[in-house]
Each structure stands twice: as C-alpha cells, then as structure tokens.
Amino acid sequence: MEPYKAGLVQSVKFLKKSPVVAQIVTAMKGNIRRRGMELIHPASRAVKLGDIIELSATKEKKAAPGATVQSVHYLGFAEITLGGVILVKDKLRLGKKVLGKVVGFDECHYPNHLNVVVSPEIPPATISNSLGLEEEITFSLR
C-alpha cells in the first residue's frame, strides 16, 4: 500500500533537512495549456548526486500532491550537485532570490528525469530568463 495515497502520512512532519543543490544545465521557455501532468501523492523525493531534474512552473492554485496540472511553463533542467530530499513547500532559490515553492512531482519521464513543479513567486518567463547555464539553485525549507 502506498501510504501517501492511502492518507496515512498526515501526521509526519519534516522538522529539519539539508538543502539540495543543483546546477542549471538547460534553460527553457515554453508553455503547455493542456499538459495533464499528474503529480504523485508523495510529498518528498530523494535525489542523488548526478540526477537530472526538470523544473516546471504552474500558477494553478489546486497544484498539490495527487492533483493533475494542466497549465505548465517549462523552466529548464538541472543536475543535482548535492543530493538529499526535496519536499513539497521547499523554496526554490537562485542565489538568495526565491523563485517559487515546490508543489509536487511528476514521474512520467522517470527514470530519465524527475519533474519538479513549482508555484512561481515571480513570472515564469522571468525565471526562465534568469537561469544561466551552470548557475546554482537550491531547494530548502527556509
């Protein structure tokens, strides 16, 4: 039984965690309005050194674990340089600037790469234009 999907993981809280660090390897710009991206029920994903993740943004208010997201803006791909656990509600940062918060994960292309979906705090096109190759991004609770 998948404990997140079964609703058994309601009282588990992540109190502390190390930041996950990644380096931008591809910057992207583009939108899909009927993507049908199915966010998985688990609110966390472990990532290892060398893993590739795809960053996408959505402004849909319902975006959360278990939801289906239609409107997606592609931001880019990044390679994990310091592994750990990415959580829903983690802040995605470029330097000290918060770009958005993680709202879920999609595994449709896994094991090739994991899709990490964020709710943007600035316009997605601005995020795309801000991502330079080899720039460092982080995922952290604070």
- pLDDT tens per residue, range 119-136: 999 999 999 999 999 999
N- to C-terminal Cα separation, the chain? 32
- Domain residue limits, the chain: 20-130
Name the β-bridge partners of 82: 21
Q: What confidence tens digit (pLDDT) does each residue in 75-134 have? A: 999 999 999 999 999 999 999 999 999 999 999 999 999 999 999 999 999 999 999 999
Question: Each residue of 61-74: pLDDT tens digit?
Answer: 999 999 999 999 99
pLDDT at 11 over 70: no
Give the torsion sign (CA, 138, 74, 62, 36).
Answer: negative
- pTM, entire model: 0.92
3-state secondary structure 78-135: EEEEECEEEECCCEEEECCEEEEEEEEEECCCCCCCEEEEEEECCCHHHHHHHCCCCC
Q: How is residue 15 written in tokens?
A: 């109190």
